[in-house]
Chains A and B, each alone.
Chain A
Amino acid sequence: QVQLVQSGAEVKKPGASMKVSCKASGYTFTAYYMHWVRLAPGQGLEWMGRINPNSGGTNYAQKFQGRVSMTRDTSITTAYMELSTLRSDDTAMYYCARFYCSGGNCYPDYWGQGTLVTVSS
């Protein structure tokens, strides 16, 4: 069965960087884009960007350009999202989500369990 298992919670100081991993299993990792979404306290869901695990190509939300980097390691079917120069308002739950395609339809189906990142001095 498809699983996306994310790394554990982190506490970071302002100005630091964080790196969250998303280990995929149960399907061909390189076949479907992986997206990253976050949910901050009191805020709505916010798309951060995506990576093509086959080519490594990325697209980032304008808000995070210059601060975010999405990579992957196909040998261990894992996607990564790194966010730098952290601020207190980056405190959020971070999710990876698979963008599945079948029969001419593409849609996000499986999500990781989430990684809580707390930014605090």
Chain B
Amino acid sequence: DIQMTQSPSSLSASVGDRVTITCRASQGISNSLAWYQQKPGKAPTLLLYVASRLESGVPSRFSGSGSGTDYTLTISSLQPEDFATYYCQQYYNIPWTFGQGTKVEIK
């Protein structure tokens, strides 16, 4: 199975801050990486796929980059509605595997 190591596990930030979350795969996943936002009691919402493609309707302050084994999610200017938990996921092969999540909290 491909292991996904996501960091940090949590962070505190203020509205307007730039936030970066990283995800490392245990082997190359050819950009088969998605980023999700999840709020308590809700399903994960797709933000980006193929590492850097923005899902329709997702604000442009979210961006993704990376290749091979290392990937990054950036929120350019954190908004109040962005406080949530973020997950990376590889879908290069099955079993799908996920990062452990990053909880973004208000500073």
Contacts and interface: CB of A to CB of B under 8 A. Distances in A.
Interface of A: 35, 37, 44-47, 50, 59, 61-62, 95, 99, 105-114
Interface in B59-107: 87, 89, 91, 94-101
A35 B96 contact: yes
A95 B42 CA distance: 10
Contacts of B45: 111
B33 to A, nearest CB: 9
Contacts of A95: 43-44
Contacts of A37: 96
Given A45-B87, A112-B43, A113-B43, A61 B50 contact: no
A37 B46 CA distance: 14
A111 to B, nearest CB: 4
Interface centre among A37, A50, A59 (most CB of B within 10 A): A37
A106 B43 contact: no
Interface residues of B, number: 23
Q: Is the interface of A mostly helix, strand, loop or mixed?
A: strand
B45 to A, nearest CB: 8
Given A37-B96, A45-B101, A105-B49, 6 more contacts: A47-B94, A47-B95, A47-B98, A50-B94, A109-B49, A113-B43
Interface centre among A50, A99, A107, A112 (most CB of B within 10 A): A107
A115 B97 CA distance: 20
| Closest 9 pairs (CB-CB, A-B) | A107-B49, A47-B96, A45-B98, A111-B43, A47-B95, A44-B100, A61-B95, A114-B43, A113-B43
B52 to A, nearest CB: 12
